[in-house]
Chains A and B, each alone.
Chain A
Amino acid sequence: MIFRLTGLLLAGTLMCSGQDTASDHSAQALVSANSQQSQSPLASLNEEKNATHYKSIFRIEVASQNPDYKTPWNSGRFSGGSGTGFLIGKNRFLTNAHVVSNQKRVIITMRGSSRKHTARVVHVAHDCDLALLEVEDYTPFEDLSYLPIGEVPQLESEVRVIGYPVGGDRISVTRGVVSRIDFRPYSHSRIDSHLVIQIDAAINPGNSGGPVLQDGKVIGVAFQGLRSADNTGYMIPTPVVRRFLQDIEDGRYDHYVDLGVAEFPLHNPAMRAIHNLAPDAPGVLVGAVTAGDACDGVLESGDILTSIDGHQIDSEGNVVIAGERVKMHEIVERKFAGDTVELNFLRQGSPREATITLRAFPPARVYAVKYDQKPRYSIQGGFVFQPLDRNLYASHRLNNPRVRRIFNNYLEENLHETRKDIVILTRVLDDPINAQLNAFAGNAVASVNGVDVIDLNHLHEMLHPETLPEFFEIRFDGIQRPLILQTTELESANKRIAENYSVPSPFYLEK
Chain B
Amino acid sequence: MKLLLSFLLSSFIGSLSVLADAPQSFIRINSTKQNYNVTQPWEKTAPYKRRALGAVLEGQRVLTTAEVVANATYIEFETLDREQRAIARVLYTDNETNLALLEPVDQASILKGLVPLSLSQPVPLGSEVDIWQVEDTGLPLLTKGTLQSTDIISSFLDGHYFLTYEIKASMQSASSSYSIPVLNEGKLLGLLTSYDSDDQILDVISPEIIDNFLRDTEDGNYIGFPSLGVGAANTSDPHLRAWLKLNNDEGGVYITKLAPDGAAAKAGLQLGDVILSINGNALSRRGYYTSELYRQVYWSHLVRGEGAVNKAIDVSLRRGEETLSYEIKLQRPIDGLVPTDTIGSAPRYLIKGGLVFQELTKSYLQAYGEDWESKVPLNLLDAFAHPEDYEQDTDRIVFLSSVIPTPATVGYEFLNSAIIEKVNGQPIRDIPSLIKAFQKAELDTIHSIELDSAPHKIYLDAKLSDTVDTQLRQRGLPALSRE
Contacts and interface: CB of A to CB of B under 8 A. Distances in A.
Interface of B: 231, 233, 236-240, 242-243, 254, 256-257, 271, 373-374, 378-379, 381-382, 384-386, 407-412, 443, 445-448, 453-461, 464
Contacts, number: 106
Interface in A251-288: 262, 264-271, 273-274, 285-288
B461 A486 contact: no
A402 interface: yes
A269 B381 CA distance: 32
Interface in A381-410: 399, 401-402, 404-405, 408-409
Contacts of A399: 373-374
Given A402-B382, A402-B386, A471 B410 contact: no
29 contacts: A262-B454, A264-B455, A265-B411, A267-B410, A268-B411, A268-B412, A268-B458, A268-B460, A269-B408, A270-B447, A270-B464, A285-B455, A287-B456, A302-B455, A401-B381, A401-B384, A404-B378, A404-B381, A405-B381, A405-B382, A409-B378, A435-B237, A436-B236, A473-B243, A478-B386, A480-B231, A480-B257, A480-B271, A484-B239
A301 interface: yes
Contact of B409 (A266, A268, A287): A268
Contact of B455 (A274, A288, A483, A484): A288
Nearest to A434: B239
B373 to A, nearest CB: 7
Given A412-B453, A478-B385, A480-B257, A273 B243 contact: no
A437 interface: yes
A405 B257 contact: no
A404 B457 CA distance: 25
Nearest to A405: B382
B239 A485 contact: yes
Interface in A411-441: 412, 435-437
A484 B242 contact: yes
Nearest to A301: B456
Contacts of A481: 233, 254, 256
A402 B381 CA distance: 9
B243 A484 contact: yes
A302 B381 contact: no
B126 to A, nearest CB: 31
A271 B459 contact: yes
Contacts of A402: 382, 385-386
B452 to A, nearest CB: 11
Instruction: State the main secondary structure of chain A at its contact with B.
Output: mixed
In this complex, the interface size class of chain A, counting residues with CB under 8 Å from chain B, is 35 or more
A370 B134 CA distance: 63
A437 B237 contact: yes
Nearest to A302: B457
Given A268-B410, A402-B382, A471-B242, A274 B454 contact: no
A274 B446 contact: yes
A266 B457 CA distance: 12
A412 B454 contact: yes
B385 A269 contact: no
A404 B374 CA distance: 10
Q: Which of A286, A288, A405 has the most CB of B within 10 A?
A: A405
A280 to B, nearest CB: 16
Contacts of B381: 401, 404-405
Nearest to A266: B411
Interface centre among A262, A270, A271, by most chain B C-beta atoms within 10 angstroms, is A270
A267 B239 contact: no
B443 A405 contact: no
A488 to B, nearest CB: 9
A302 B459 CA distance: 12
A477 B21 CA distance: 61
Contacts of B236: 436
A408 B458 CA distance: 23
A484 B237 contact: yes
Interface of A: 262, 264-271, 273-274, 285-288, 301-302, 399, 401-402, 404-405, 408-409, 412, 435-437, 471, 473, 478-481, 483-486
Contacts of B385: 401-402, 478
A127 to B, nearest CB: 24
A300 to B, nearest CB: 10
Contacts of B458: 268, 271
B377 to A, nearest CB: 10
Task: Give the 7 A-B CB pairs with smallest separation, nearest first.
Answer: A267-B411, A287-B454, A288-B454, A287-B455, A270-B459, A264-B455, A270-B461
B286 to A, nearest CB: 10
B204 to A, nearest CB: 30
Contacts of B384: 401
A273 B459 contact: yes
A435 B240 CA distance: 11
B372 to A, nearest CB: 12
B417 to A, nearest CB: 13
Contacts of B409: 268
A271 B459 CA distance: 5
Nearest to B460: A270
A288 B454 CA distance: 6
Contacts of A301: 454-456
Nearest to A275: B459
Contacts of A266: 411
B294 to A, nearest CB: 25
Contacts of B378: 401, 404-405, 408-409
Contacts of A268: 408-412, 458-460
A486 B238 contact: yes
A282 B316 CA distance: 70
Given A267-B411, A287-B456, A481-B233, A405 B379 contact: yes
A274 B233 CA distance: 53
Nearest to B258: A480
Contacts of B243: 471, 473, 484, 486
A286 B457 CA distance: 11
Given A286-B455, A471-B243, A486-B243, 12 more contacts: A268-B411, A270-B447, A270-B459, A287-B454, A301-B454, A302-B456, A405-B381, A436-B237, A471-B239, A473-B243, A480-B231, A484-B240
Most buried by A among B231, B378, B409, B453: B378
A394 to B, nearest CB: 14
A172 to B, nearest CB: 42
A404 to B, nearest CB: 6
B463 to A, nearest CB: 10
Contacts of A408: 378
A404 B385 CA distance: 12
A285 B448 CA distance: 15
A204 to B, nearest CB: 33
B464 A269 contact: yes
Contact of B459 (A274, A404, A412): A274
Contacts of B382: 401-402, 405
A404 B373 CA distance: 11
Nearest to B409: A268
A105 to B, nearest CB: 40
A264 B458 CA distance: 10
B446 A270 contact: yes
A475 to B, nearest CB: 12
A470 B385 CA distance: 33
Nearest to B407: A269
Contacts of A483: 239
B211 to A, nearest CB: 35
A132 to B, nearest CB: 38
A68 B143 CA distance: 54
Contacts of B407: 269
